[in-house]
Structure 1
Amino acid sequence: MKKLTYVSTKSVNELTWPTVVEGINIYSSALTVFTDFKTAGPRVIETNTRADVLVKLMKKEHVRMKIVVDEYNHFVGIISLEDLSEDALIKRVAEGYKRSELMVADLMRPKEELIALSYNSLKNSDIESLLLSQRENPLQHLLVIDEDSNTIRGLISSNDIVRQLRLDVDVAFSSFASTYRSAILGQKFQSKRLKAA
């Protein structure tokens, strides 16, 4: 057994806080809004989890999307609160499923239907370019693939962009499309208004 050292907290006044990057704007590196799974592990859920249990879990954890894995922790898809909405559940029940028996596998978006962003292109991009490329995306999350290791390296959340840029967007209903409208189109509208004044 290794010996542990204990220290008095009497003279300690400060806490360690995460590094906050000040002055982030649309021209900042897109990596400033990237959640890297090398430093913040992915939030995963197995395919055989009941949908109603997952809804409660996601609300408790304050997350809106989880990566779906099989019993071997292999990536098989994603599931979001939108996929677990009341409308989505009613639709499945109308198709003959019993509500209490709906599983993540029944409601998830399989990986074959997903498109992800290349990590190498993300490294050389800014937030403006990212938002321009996602201006029609009605979703809140975008996976990022590290092509060198052929792994899901992380993700980008429209909510993180909203928070970092301090945009006036309701994060409960944000998407890349709404974030684009607020960050890019809103900025262009403000600059035109300033010129006219």
Structure 2
Amino acid sequence: MKKLQLFNLDVTDNVVSPEQFDITDLKSPATTIFTDFKKHEALMVESDTSAEDALKLMLKTHVRMKIVVSDNDDFLGIISTNELTEQKILAQVSKSNSRKDVLVKDLMIPKYRLHAFDYDELKASSVADVLLALDNYKLRHCLVLDRSSHHIRGVISSSDIARKLKLNINLNLENTFSSIYQAAHAA
């Protein structure tokens, strides 16, 4: 048996994080900027959740997008803080809804209006390829589809890309892939 020695922590400066060791640039594999739902649980919200409650929860947890599911966990679409604005909630209220009756399903982007990357194509692509493909879409998130098994495999977030590329962008602003693309090519 090996005898281990304990050391004092008085000379310790920092706690390390994985980002300090992960170097991501435009040539890196696209999978380095992708949140894989096989490794990380998808952030979901039921379609019958009130829009106000969903927004409060998202702001409290610093989440900008959630997958919308039915009571049976069927994928219905996505909701982001872009759809949960005061203006959009009030527009629903003006259609003779009371504020508490405005639900996530009333404001979500339904799956038939969404586009996604194919996971197999993503595996063979670079970060630059992803940014170039999404430059014109004005999105903050893009889903990744595993077409062979017909399920959502993950998501790519503009704020995750900016953080991993260590871009000097205010992540509290509504970053789109276009603004990330411009900043990455200026760096």
User: Normalization by structure 2: what TM-score?
Assistant: 0.88
Distance between the aligned counterparts of 2:75 and 2:22, measured in 1?
A: 34
1:18 CA drift (Å): 4.2
Distance between the aligned counterparts of 2:151 and 2:66, measured in 1?
A: 16
Distance between the aligned counterparts of 1:19 and 1:159, measured in 2?
A: 14
Distance between the aligned counterparts of 1:64 and 1:20, measured in 2?
A: 24
Distance between the aligned counterparts of 2:113 and 2:57, measured in 1?
A: 25
Name the aligned partner's letter for residue 55 of structure 2. Answer: V
Counterpart for residue 64 of structure 1? 64
Secondary structure in 1 aligned to 2:48?
coil
Distance between the aligned counterparts of 1:142 and 1:153, measured in 2?
A: 11
Distance between the aligned counterparts of 2:149 and 2:56, measured in 1?
A: 34
Counterpart for residue 190 of structure 1? none
1:180 aligns to 2:173 (yes or no):
no
User: Normalization by structure 1: what TM-score?
Assistant: 0.83
Q: Deviations over 1:67-117 (max 9, x none)?
A: 000011111100001100111112212232221210111111110110111
Where does structure 1 lack aligned partners over 5 or more consecutive residues? 1-9, 188-197
Name the aligned partner's letter for residue 175 of structure 1. Answer: T
Distance between the aligned counterparts of 2:89 and 2:181, measured in 1?
A: 30
Counterpart for residue 44 of structure 2? 44
Distance between the aligned counterparts of 1:23 and 1:69, measured in 2?
A: 35
Name the aligned partner's letter for residue 29 of structure 1. Answer: P
1:30 aligns to 2:30 (yes or no):
yes
Secondary structure in 2 aligned to 1:92?
helix
Question: Which runs of structure 2 are paired with 1:134-153 in the superposition (5 Å)?
Answer: 134-153=134-153
The 8 Å contact of residues 131 and 177 in structure 2, kept in 1 or not, is answered as: yes
Query: Do the aligned partners of residues 174 and 65 (structure 1) sit closer, same or farther apart at CA in structure 2, a change above 3 Å counting?
Result: same
Question: Which runs of structure 2 are paired with 1:64-143 in the superposition (5 Å)?
Answer: 64-143=64-143
1:16 CA drift (Å): 8.7
Where does structure 2 lack aligned partners over 5 or more consecutive residues? none
Query: Do the aligned partners of residues 96 and 175 (structure 1) sit closer, same or farther apart at CA in structure 2, a change above 3 Å counting?
Result: same
Name the aligned partner's letter for residue 152 of structure 2. Answer: I
**Higher RCO (Cα < 8 Å, 6 or more apart):** 2
1:152 CA drift (Å): 0.2
Between 1:14-23 and 1:155-164, the stretch displaced more is: 14-23
Counterpart for residue 7 of structure 1? none
Name the aligned partner's letter for residue 25 of structure 1. Answer: D
